[in-house]
Chain A
Amino acid sequence: MIKINKLSKTYGSNDAKNPHSFEAVKNLTLDIGKGELFCFLGPNGAGKTTTIKILTGLLRASSGSILINGIDPETDHLSSKKIIGYIPDMPYLYERLTTTEFFEFTGELYDINKESIHEKLEESFALFGLIEYKNVLVKDLSHGLRQRLIYAATFLHDPEILFIDEPLIGLDPYTIRLIKDLLKEKARNGMTIFLTTHILALAEDIAHRIGIILRGELIETGTLSELYERHGKNNLEDIFLSLTGNY
């Protein structure tokens, strides 16, 4: 579903002598299959967000290639966007729309018919506890409620591939459980999920496979049990710290 081949990203110029340039992602190669829930871990500034932004088309790679479900986003961006969903760490929402209007607007961008939008609205709003906020302006929502709304709106077009940057920021325990269960269920139903996080417990809990990135390089990848076995430890935190400890 997601094929990343020798992906690199350098900010500034590619000239190594330029003191203001730096390589955020170095030669990243990854293959993520259908229905896989892949967790991308790494310390601050390791290159997680840069990678996710390149995959969603919000940044351009300096070299390397990407295939999203066999589609090259560089040549056919519209087709790739139809099948992806993206939840950034700080999502943009239209402050002067109500939650219902925002949901409707997102649906219309994907050309979903009105009846389906309203059917899904009832379903999603009930799931994310947004029913009582149906007519509330986005500007009046708390951070947690905004996150719930962006999740509801992102699932509206049933994306085949979902990219999430730090999925649990600012969420209460109830919503955290809800999101975790939902992501597991979506992956079971065939959705490919690529998420970045700092929360190791989340990766331990839901990831099918984990990748650890440090200074732009993918230094480790595998399932949780593979990592335990390879490092002789039964705790992801210990593995993570031993790999990134001198960072």
Chain B
Amino acid sequence: MSIERAILKKIKYTFYNLGRILSIQSKLKVFFIFCSVIVLITGMALMFYSGFRYFDTMSGFGSIIINKLFTFFFLGMGVMLVFSSIITSYSTIFRSDEIPFLLVRPAGYNQITLYKFFESTALSSWAFVFIILPYVGAYAAYNEMSVLFVIWTLLFSIPFLIICSAIGSISIIIFVRFIPKSKKTLLSLLIFTGLMLVVVFFINTDFNVDKEMEVFDISTVLPGLNLASNPILPSFWTSEGIMALTNGQILRGLMFWLLLMLTATGFLVLINDLGRLLFYNTWLSTMEGRQNNKRAPVLFKWLDKIYLPHDIKAMIKKDIRIFFRDPVQWSQVLIFFGLIGLYFVNIRNFNYHNIDAMWRNMIAFLNVFCLSMVLSSLGSRFIYPELSLEGQGFWVIGLSPTSMKRIVLTKFFSSVVAMIIISVTLVLISSSMLNVEKEIQIITIILILSVSIAICGLSTGLGAIFIDLKQSNPAAIVSGFGGTLNLILSLCFMIVSIVPTGLILHLEIVAKISHQTAENLLITTGLWLIIILLCSSILPLILGIKVLNKTQGI
């Protein structure tokens, strides 16, 4: 037990010291972060509450949705947690610098795996607290439930988190262990998967949409609602157990809680055994991949044909090479956009294209919102730390005959191009699958273009303002003040750009405002969008360039 005791003590000390570090930091900074968190949680709680009230105005249909929504919420959270865990598990279990330190000490492979699993669970799930808290709070307030409801939710959330995270971690341990070693096999596998997705796309695409097919059926509107009620799902046990305890059905609630605890324990035993049997060899194989210093060259002959100044071309080539040689980077981008793409491609499978125009428009805007959230998290994860990650090598660029302005602008424009290609393609898929009107298509494209530019501007500019060349861990750079500010501002931009437009179009469709009023309001919103876009892209870039020019030691 000495290893477990030592690690627990280390975690305790780390948290204590984190408090010490925070206490000596600028009080204003800490206060700002605290206030931002409170505003974010309160804002989300109010948004959820308004959503419940809105559903309530829809007579019977709305109340069915509200009743099922709690179960659906845990299913959605569970799916997101599994994917989040897959991403964090790989870097935490296999790429952490701490592993070699622990491996040369008398710690069992199973102990190391379990410890890293819990770390990965914490890393992949802490952000969900910011969704669970406001949602549960709003749900409890709307249904006038007792405080016990929140306590039961917390009690059930712990085993639920462990189960979801374990599914992600176990998948990644097995995948990394048995991933085809040959690049050709891996490539064939990826091409096969891609082809399958294309086939699924064409099978599910009904190019001759029958407008008469608007049949009201709750399962066609939100098919996930039925799936969420499947009794074999841990998300169902969680929601059912919480509701049972809240309604005073102690034994039923306890049964679901024990079921969750038993499943979680089972998964922990499985991770322990996988750690003992697979961890060491799998870790060694990932290390050997890193040690093998002979890499196939990435030459970009196509890039040489494009006219670009030599310094800009050199920087772009370097960034692309680094990106493709770091599986953590490209795999995260692939997973995030791949999942969204998969959902967009399958929209017709859910029959969303046959529902009322009001709902289709709402889904189109929700899709833009969802894609923007992914863009903002990727902006914070990849674009924001880009300048800091130049690290000790920054002098190479710093001493070359180029200016800080060109460096910052190159980072900005290259990220804008990459983001726009992906985001606009995805929005085009979404709107064509939903069969929305041309007007909505154009508006959603304008919105996603603005969000992409703003996120790249904010991330590059703030990344320059809060540059930290001493830090080599991107997670540490991102979790700093600048990274948090960047994420908050990106989310704010999304809200103030997408929500007003979506609201105007919604009010027009439900005939609350006239077409003329909607048009006038849209023009005003367009002007507003231009102003906020300039503020969030050009301003941070100018400030960032100024800071870099003044910074010593670069």
Q: Which residues of A contact B (CB under 8 A)?
A: 11-13, 19-22, 50, 56-60, 77-78, 81-82, 84, 86, 88, 91-92, 94, 96-98, 101, 104-106, 108-111, 137
Contacts and interface: CB of A to CB of B under 8 A. Distances in A.
A137 B22 CA distance: 13
A59 B2 contact: no
A34 B380 CA distance: 53
B103 A57 contact: yes
Given A22-B292, A60-B281, A105-B10, 18 more contacts: A11-B291, A11-B294, A20-B294, A20-B295, A21-B294, A56-B104, A57-B103, A81-B105, A81-B107, A86-B104, A94-B10, A97-B17, A104-B9, A105-B6, A108-B9, A109-B2, A109-B105, A137-B17
B67 to A, nearest CB: 46
A97 B14 contact: yes
Nearest to A82: B106
Contacts of A57: 103-104
Contacts of A108: 2, 5-6, 9
A60 B284 contact: yes
A70 to B, nearest CB: 17
Interface in B1-29: 2-3, 5-6, 9-10, 13-14, 17-18, 20-21
Which 3 A-B residue pairs are closest in the complex by CB-CB distance? A108-B6, A111-B2, A11-B292
B477 to A, nearest CB: 13
B108 A78 contact: yes
Given A78-B106, A82-B106, A92 B101 contact: yes
B100 A88 contact: yes
Contact of B291 (A59, A105, A109): A59
B98 interface: yes
A109 B97 contact: no
A111 B102 CA distance: 14
B295 A101 contact: no
Interface string B323-363: 00000000000000000000000000000000000000000
A96 B284 contact: no
21 contacts: A11-B291, A11-B294, A12-B294, A20-B295, A58-B103, A60-B284, A60-B288, A77-B280, A81-B105, A81-B107, A91-B101, A94-B14, A94-B98, A96-B18, A97-B14, A101-B17, A105-B10, A108-B2, A108-B9, A109-B102, A137-B20
B535 to A, nearest CB: 35
Interface residues of B, number: 35
A78 B276 CA distance: 12
Nearest to B473: A95
Contact of B105 (A22, A96, A110): A110
A10 to B, nearest CB: 9
A154 to B, nearest CB: 10
Nearest to B285: A60
B7 to A, nearest CB: 8
Given A12-B292, A12-B294, A81-B106, A109 B3 contact: yes
B287 interface: yes
Given A58-B100, A81-B106, A22 B294 contact: yes
Contact of A19 (B10, B100, B294): B294
A151 B104 CA distance: 15
B104 A84 contact: yes
A96 B14 contact: yes
Contacts of B108: 78
Chain B binding surface, main DSSP class: helix
Interface string B103-145: 1111110000000000000000000000000000000000000
Contacts of A81: 104-107
A106 to B, nearest CB: 8
Contact of B13 (A19, A56, A101): A101
Nearest to B281: A60
Nearest to A62: B288
Nearest to B296: A20
A92 B100 contact: yes
B106 A92 contact: no
B106 A110 contact: yes
A13 B292 CA distance: 10
A59 B291 CA distance: 9
A59 B284 contact: yes
A30 B102 CA distance: 27
A102 B98 CA distance: 13
A92 B97 contact: yes
A151 to B, nearest CB: 15
A94 to B, nearest CB: 7
Nearest to B3: A109
A60 B20 CA distance: 41
B280 to A, nearest CB: 8
A147 B296 CA distance: 36
A78 to B, nearest CB: 5
B472 to A, nearest CB: 11
Contacts of B280: 77
A96 B98 CA distance: 13
A37 B98 CA distance: 28
Contacts of B295: 20
A200 B398 CA distance: 35
Interface string B372-396: 0000000000000000000000000
A123 to B, nearest CB: 21
Contacts of A91: 101
A13 B285 CA distance: 12
Nearest to A83: B106
Given A97-B17, A137-B17, A11 B100 contact: no
Given A20-B295, A108-B2, A109-B2, A92 B104 contact: no
B324 to A, nearest CB: 16
A187 B60 CA distance: 83
A224 to B, nearest CB: 30
B190 to A, nearest CB: 20
A13 B180 CA distance: 13
Contacts of A96: 13-14, 17-18, 21
A60 B21 CA distance: 40
A88 B97 CA distance: 12
Interface in B55-108: 97-98, 100-108
Contacts of B6: 105, 108-109
Nearest to A113: B2
A110 B2 CA distance: 8
Contacts of B20: 137
B287 A105 contact: no
A60 B103 CA distance: 13
B270 to A, nearest CB: 22
Nearest to B182: A13
Contacts of A58: 100, 103-104, 287
Nearest to A85: B104
B292 A20 contact: yes
